[in-house]
Amino acid sequence: MIFFRRTWFDPRLRYDHLSNWTRIAVHPDAINKLWVPDIFFLNERAAVVHEVTTPNMLIWLGRTGTVYMSVRLSLTLACPMTFARFPHETQFCTIDMESYAFTTDTVKLTWAENQPLTIPKTIGMQQFYLAGHRTYDCTYQALYISGRFPCLRVELSLKRFVAFYVMSTYVPTSFIVVLSWLSFWLDSDAVPGRVTLGVTTVLTMMTQSYISSQSLPKVPYVKALDVWMATCMAFVFAAIMEFGFVNVQRRKEQDEFERRASAVGRDSNGEVREKID
């Protein structure tokens, strides 16, 4: 929800020679009798002008022809996002305002010099917090076949809260990786225990990865959290591979030891028989 405030000068509405009033409040029904800048929101997807209990609109006429207008709006705006660094990304969303019918030759839009944008400190979102904002003129981008149109833009920097993903994804997967390393301290002959531990950690890791993927945005490229999950899975899988490698090497060494022991036994028996003969 925003309070959209505009001020413009219309010399036809001057009344400084008729009254000492500094300003006159105009009923919203008279809006059709006034010239109003035809500003629209370029990236708007849905908009509502609040009318409970009466139209939420304020119009003041100044003595010198200055018109002040404020209206309460609820906007749904398009905001293209990039999730390559998810959940550590900063998203930049804009509010683009342009004149629909008047080019820069007729109308010029400028931001108010004093506080062009006021954001309440109590504003908040579930997944993001407002890290910063800026206002600037975007007329240089509003060039069309019909001409160049005046444009103003608000850019909001939204940074995602990471604490939720730390507790729900990073910490559990880190514990699973550390748990898989416990197999390094088990005896290599404890095959059932090491296999059970390895398979359990792999299945747990796969379950955690599936649960995390359900809440992630569906995009065709790799995200930072995907890299983390793949790395954790690689560590867990490497622990199982290490056990398999150690077990095979241990069996080879044991077979080699038994072969040498049997060969030494045969040689010793032969020497004994020769001495007896």
Please tell me the predicted confidence (pLDDT) of residue 276. Answer: 42
Please tell me the predicted confidence (pLDDT) of residue 266. Answer: 60
Instruction: Check whether residue 46 and residue 142 sit in a common domain.
Output: no
pLDDT in tens, the chain (277 residues): 899 999 999 999 998 877 678 889 999 988 889 999 999 999 999 999 999 988 999 999 999 999 999 999 999 999 999 999 999 999 999 999 999 999 999 999 999 988 899 988 888 788 899 999 999 999 988 889 999 999 999 999 999 999 999 998 999 999 999 988 888 887 767 777 778 888 888 888 888 888 888 877 788 899 999 999 999 999 988 888 888 887 777 778 777 777 887 877 665 555 544 444 4
pTM, 2 dp: 0.79
The count of other CB atoms within 10 Å of the CB of residue 237 is 15
Please tell me the predicted confidence (pLDDT) of residue 247. Answer: 76
Give the C-alpha separation, 264 to 226, whole Å.
56
Task: Read off the CATH number of the domain in which 109 is found.
Answer: 2.70.170.10
Domain range for 263: 164-276
Evaluate the CA torsion angle 271, 272, 273, 277 in order and state its sign. positive
The total of structural domains in the chain comes to: 3
Give the C-alpha separation, 91 to 127, whole Å.
11
Task: Read off the CATH number of the domain in which 263 is found.
Answer: 1.20.58.390
Please tell me the predicted confidence (pLDDT) of residue 253. Answer: 77
Instruction: Check whether residue 228 and residue 170 sit in a common domain.
Output: yes
